[in-house]
């Protein structure tokens, strides 16, 4: 019975020793091994052997990129206005030994360094520039943090400003100013639209007037050309027909009823040549009439 107990105790000791001897480090992790309280080596991902009861493996360190969001911090601008700034830090541990021994709590150290840097950077900017210069603030923060955390075995990859909140009174004033600017731009756009519409209307009326005048001119030209051609045709016909006074008198007699239909036709002017032609026409009629 005693032998069985001894065997069990020995087996438990062997298992405990083996568990403390063989260590498995996951991917993207690193382990710092101390031997008798002093740094001995850094374990990389995979299977590792340590001396039990002599070597001590400290808590594993995550080597992946980490994101830390800090609470909004009140910061005073150059024009003595308090703004609340919410920031996010993207960092990565590059040296497990330095992150273990150079700084006690690198997360807290990064937060305090971020707050201090923000106050220094924002303190040299007016509120308006602070609201419109996030990239400049991010670059300044990243430069300071990366330089300071380099000796801690940490690389700051990116710094982002999530929000910059000015005081409530300043926000109300800014909203009123933006509303006034929007109304001003709307009024300018409306006036510009009315102006363009008037210009287009005037241009259209101008083009219409030009086209109308051109049409009237072309119509007058065509009418005059038609009348000229008609007169030329009549004149040619008369010239080719060689009319005598008797034919002219006959044509005049046919036209008299049409002239008489006019309301203002109270007095007629008869040329002397026409009178003599009418006389000769009467004589011809008498000659052609047989005597009874």
Q: Residue 65's pLDDT is what?
A: 93
Q: Residue 274's pLDDT is what?
A: 53
Q: Residue 239's pLDDT is what?
A: 65
Q: Residue 61's pLDDT is what?
A: 92
Q: Residue 193's pLDDT is what?
A: 86
Residue span(s) of the chain under CATH 3.30.479.30 come to 66-166
CATH number of 66-166: 3.30.479.30
Q: Residue 249's pLDDT is what?
A: 61
Q: Walk along the chain (292 residues) and give the pLDDT tens digit of each residue.
A: 777 777 777 787 777 777 778 888 999 999 999 998 899 999 999 988 888 888 888 999 999 999 988 888 888 888 888 888 888 989 999 999 999 999 988 888 888 888 888 888 888 888 888 888 888 888 888 888 888 888 999 998 888 888 888 877 776 776 777 778 888 888 888 888 888 888 888 888 888 888 888 888 888 888 888 877 877 776 676 666 665 665 556 565 666 566 556 555 555 555 555 556 556 555 555 555 555 4
3-state SS of the chain is CHHHHHHHHHHHHHHHHHHHHEEEECCCEEEEEEECCEEEEEECCEEEECCCCCEEECCCEECCCEEEECCCEEEECCCCCEEEEEEEEEEEECCHHHHHHCCCCHHHHHHHHHHHHHHHHHCCCCHHHHHHCHHHHHHHHHHHHHHHHHHHCEEEEEEEEEEEECCHHHHHHHHHHHHHHHHHHHHHHHHHHHHHHHHHHHHHHHHHHHHHHHHHHHHHHHHHHHHHHHHHHHHHHHHHHCCCHHHHHHHHHHHHHHHHCCCCCCCCCCCHHHHHHHHHHHHHHHHHCCCC
């Amino acid at each position: 019975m005693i032998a069985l107990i001894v065997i069990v105790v020995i087996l438990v000791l062997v298992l405990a020793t083996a568990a403390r001897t063989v260590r498995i480090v996951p991917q993207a992790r690193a382990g710092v091994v101390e031997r008798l309280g002093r740094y001995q080596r850094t374990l990389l991902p995979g299977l590792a052997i340590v001396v039990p009861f002599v070597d001590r493996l400290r808590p594993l360190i995550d080597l992946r990129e980490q994101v830390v969001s800090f609470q909004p911090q009140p910061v005073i601008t150059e024009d003595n206005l308090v703004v609340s700034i919410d920031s996010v830090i993207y960092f990565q541990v590059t040296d497990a030994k330095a992150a273990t021994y150079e700084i006690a709590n690198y997360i807290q150290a990064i937060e305090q360094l971020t707050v201090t840097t923000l106050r220094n950077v924002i303190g040299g900017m007016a509120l308006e520039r602070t609201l419109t210069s996030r990239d400049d603030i991010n670059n300044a923060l990243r430069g300071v943090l990366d330089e300071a955390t380099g000796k801690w075995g940490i690389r700051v990859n990116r710094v982002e400003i999530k929000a910059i909140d000015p005081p409530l009174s300043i926000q109300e004033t800014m909203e009123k100013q933006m509303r006034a600017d929007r109304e001003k731009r709307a009024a300018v756009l409306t006036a510009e639209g009315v102006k363009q519409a008037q210009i287009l209307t005037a241009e259209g009326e101008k083009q219409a007037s030009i086209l109308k005048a051109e049409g009237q001119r072309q119509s007058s030209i065509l009418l005059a050309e038609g009348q000229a051609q008609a007169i030329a045709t009549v004149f040619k016909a008369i010239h080719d027909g060689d009319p005598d006074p008797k034919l002219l008198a006959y044509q005049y007699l046919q036209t008299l009823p049409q002239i008489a239909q006019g309301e203002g036709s109270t007095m007629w002017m008869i040329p002397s040549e026409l009178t003599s032609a009418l006389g000769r026409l009467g004589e011809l009629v008498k000659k052609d009439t047989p005597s009874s």
